[in-house]
Structure 1
Amino acid sequence: CYWIYWEVGKELERSGSPDPLYARWIGTYAAQEFGDVVRAVIDATDRVAGRLSPAERAAMTRHFVATSRYEWMFWEMGHRREAWPV
């Protein structure tokens, strides 16, 4: 989640936003400080992965791919402006 939000923030920052609230949201996730936190989480995850067995690393990879897919689906839903019956 951290990593994806950082990548999205950096991408959205390129085009900016005239809406001050949205621009602030973009700035939060594109900020160097947020990127530093993301890098620290990635580094910690890599350190943990380095101590795992091959089977545990494979499970970790499967979970990473699955959660990344869910994040993509979340962003795609917004992009397509899907409406959910509530």
Structure 2
Amino acid sequence: MDKDESLTIKEAAKLLFVSPAHFRTLLQKSDLAAIQETPESDVRVLRSAVLEYKEQMRARQKAGLKEMMDASERLGLYDQEIEGPPNHKKD
């Protein structure tokens, strides 16, 4: 597939594993730019722009996970090994 081919909202949303409605929100927030509107008012985006956004999204997720892990370590949440599932008793 051509990296610079244009995609419909549905196709682009599928690449990001999000709903078309959420993808439209990304367009409205200017996280992604629409490149073309067809005469039938169909919005298009470049595949390369969607793939670049996907990589940026993964990098933000990875950084966020690292921050959460670091905060958990500072709080001592990793100091003790878990010996098994908690034993919840009903009274």
TM-score, scaled to structure 2: 0.33
Q: Going by fraction, where is strand more abundant, 1 or 2?
A: 2
Q: Going by fraction, where is helix more abundant, 1 or 2?
A: 1
TM-score, scaled to structure 1: 0.35
| Larger Rg computed on CA atoms | 2
